[in-house]
Amino acid sequence: MTRNVMNRRFTLRESILLALLVVIFLIGLFFMLVYYPVRNQRAEIQAQLEDVQDKQLVADILYNRYEEDKEELEEIYALPEDERTVMPKHTDAHEQELLNIVGAIIEVTESHRTNWTISKSDDSVYRRVLSFSFSVNDFDMGYDILKELTSIKFQNQKCRNQVSNLSVSPSSGDVKDGSLTISGTITFFEVE
C-alpha cells in the first residue's frame, strides 16, 4: 500500500515553514518584477532630467548672451559711424600695418619698448597683445599718445581694443609736472 504524501495534513511547523517560504518567494518576486525595474527606470528618468536641465541651462546662457550681444550691436549701430569699432580680419598685412602705425605713434617718445604676442581663442578671435612702455616729457604728451594708440584705424574704421595694466610713473613726485613713464598692454581683436 502506497501512501500519498499529499493526502496528509501539514504539521504546524511545516505550515509555518511553507508560509515563510511563500512570503520570501513573494518578496523576491516583488523585488524582481516591481522594485528593481521601477528603481532603474527612475534612475534613467533622473539622468534624462539632469541632461535636459543641463541643456536648458546652456540654452539660457546662450539666449542671455544673444540678448547681450543684440543690445551691444544696437548700441554700436546707435553710435555715429566715425565712433564705431571693427574687428579686422587677421592677416599678415594687417599685422605689419599695425606694427608700422604703433611704431610711428611712439617713436616721438624719449625712450620706448614694445612687445607683441598673439593668441587665438576657440571662438576664432585673435588677440594681438601689445605690451608697451615709453617715457615722455609731460602728462599731456603721454595722454595724446595713449589716445592715439587706442584710436588706431584700419581700413578707415577704429579697431576694437582693450587697455589693461595701465601704469603711470612720474620721475618726480607729481604726475602733471615733469617726465613720466607710461606702461601697460593693449589687446587688439581680430577675426579669422
Residues 24 and 43 in one domain: yes
Q: What share of the chain is helix, strand, coil (3-state, %, to 5)?
A: 50, 25, 20
When pLDDT is cut at 50, 70 and 90, the band that residue 84 belongs to is low
**Residue 170: which CATH number?**
3.30.70.60
184 and 90 in a single domain? The answer is yes
The predicted structure's pLDDT at residue 179: 80
The last residue of one of the domains, among 49, 78, 107, is: 78
**Alpha-carbon span 188 to 186, nearest angstrom:** 6
Domain with 96, as residue range(s), is 86-191
Does 90 share its domain with 180? Answer: yes
178 shares a domain with 103: yes
For 17-53, give the secondary structure using H, E and C.
Answer: HHHHHHHHHHHHHHHHHHHHHHHHHHHHHHHHHHHHH
| Within a domain: 2 | no
pTM confidence score: 0.53
When pLDDT is cut at 50, 70 and 90, the band that residue 2 belongs to is low
Mean pLDDT of 136-164: 79
- What value does the mean pLDDT of the chain take? 81
